[in-house]
Structure 1
Amino acid sequence: MANQVEQGLTEELLPLLQKEQYVTISTVDFETGAPNVNAISWVYAPDLQTIRFSVDNRSRIIKNIKANKGIVITLIAKGSTYSIAGNAEVLNEKMEEVPLKLSLLEMKVTEVRDVMFYGSKMSSEPKYVKVYDAQAAAKLDRQVMDALKRR
C-alpha cells in the first residue's frame, strides 16, 4: 500500500482491527490545541469505513473528541505503519455491559495511508502483556469486545 491513499480500510487491514489490537490514537487537545497521543487496545472494525473503540470515560480522549472530532489511529502491522484518519463521536458515555467506567466511541474512516519511511519495513509488530490477573483481564477483554461488536 506504499504511497497510496485509500478512502477506507483495506481487506488486508480489516481483520487486524476485528480483534484486540495495539494502536495509538491521536486527538487534538481541547485545552492546548496540541496533538495528544494515547495507546489503546480495545478496537473493532465492523466494516471498511468504521472503527469502534473503548476508553475510560474519564479519559482526555473523550473531551478532545467532543471538542474536535478529527482523529488518527496508527496501526503497526503487515510490515508497515498505517495512519487511519477520520472523525469520531462518543456513542455511549457508559457501556452498561462492562463493569468498568468505559465509553464507546465510533470513528468514520476517511483516509488510510501507509506512512512507513522509504526503503524500510517493520521487522516485528508491537507486543504487550496485561500485568494484572490473567483471568480477570480475559473476562474484561471479552466483555468489552462483545460490546463493541454488538453496537
Structure 2
Amino acid sequence: MSETVATSLSESLFGLMQQERFLTLATIDHETGAPSLGSISWVVATTHQTVRIAIDNRSRILANLQKTPSVSLHLLGNGSSYEIAGRVASIEERLDGVPLKLAKVEIVVETVRDIMFYGSRISVDPEYEKTYDKNAAAKLDAQVMTALKK
C-alpha cells in the first residue's frame, strides 16, 4: 500500500473536487457507534484545506455528524484511491438558492492518504447517471454546486 500522508489537498485532488463527482462518505452512526457509509456527489473543495458537501436534511448522515464531527471521504481519481479525513467545521441547515431542503456541511481537511493497494492503479474513474429527468437533474446540480461555492 502506498500511503502518502499530507495535511491538505494536492493541486490535482483540489482540481478533481471542483465539480460534482462520486465519493463515499464515512461517519460514525449516532445510535450504534458503528462505522456508517454513504454515497454523495455534491462536493466541492473551496480551498486546499476545506471541502463542502450538500446533504439531504432527512439523511442520517447529519445526525451522525452532529454527534461525532469526524468524517472520511473516499475519492477515486488520478489513478488511485484516497482517504480525505477531517472534522466538521459547520453545518448550515439550509442551502440557499436550492429548492430541496439540503444542508451545507463544511469539512476542515486534516489528513490525505493514498490508500491504493500495492502494485495497482484505478484504470477507470467511477461513473454514474441520474435516473430522473435529465434537465431537472442538471438544473438542480447547477444550483447546488453554485450554492456550495458561496
Give the TM-score of the pair, scaled to structure 1.
0.96
What's 2:6 paired with? 6
What's 2:29 paired with? 29
Runs in 1 of length 4+ with deviation above 6 angstroms? none
**2:63 pairs with 1:78:** no
Question: 2:90·2:107 contact (CA, 8 Å) conserved in 1?
Answer: no
Residue 90 and residue 62 in structure 1: after superposition, are their counterparts in 2 closer, same or farther (change >3 A)?
Answer: farther
What's 1:108 paired with? 108
What's 2:68 paired with? 68
What's 1:15 paired with? 15
What's 2:92 paired with? 92
**2:118 pairs with 1:118:** yes
> Equivalent residue of 1:13, what SS?
helix
Provide Cα deviations, 1:47-91, integer angstroms capped at 9, x if missing partner.
100000001011111000000010000000011000000001443
Look up the equivalent residue of 1:57 and give its one-letter code. Answer: N
CA distance in 1, matches of 2:38, 2:137: 20
> Equivalent residue of 1:12, what SS?
helix
> Equivalent residue of 2:11, what SS?
coil
Provide Cα deviations, 1:24-49, integer angstroms capped at 9, x if missing partner.
00000000000000000000101100
For structure 1, list consecutive stretches of 5 or more residues without a partner in the other structure: none
Question: 2:95·2:103 contact (CA, 8 Å) conserved in 1?
Answer: yes
Identity of aligned residues (%): 48
Q: State the 1:96 CA deviation.
A: 3.1
Give the TM-score of the pair, scaled to structure 2.
0.97
Question: 1:94·1:101 contact (CA, 8 Å) conserved in 2?
Answer: yes
CA distance in 2, matches of 1:69, 1:126: 27
For structure 2, list consecutive stretches of 5 or more residues without a partner in the other structure: none
CA distance in 1, matches of 2:31, 2:89: 18
CA RMSD of aligned residues (A): 0.9
CA distance in 1, matches of 2:109, 2:140: 27
Structure 1 residues 18-57: aligned runs within 5 Å: 18-57=18-57
Instruction: Provide the aligned length of Structure 1 versus Structure 2.
Output: 149
Deviates more, 1:18-27 or 1:2-11: 2-11
Question: 2:94·2:104 contact (CA, 8 Å) conserved in 1?
Answer: yes
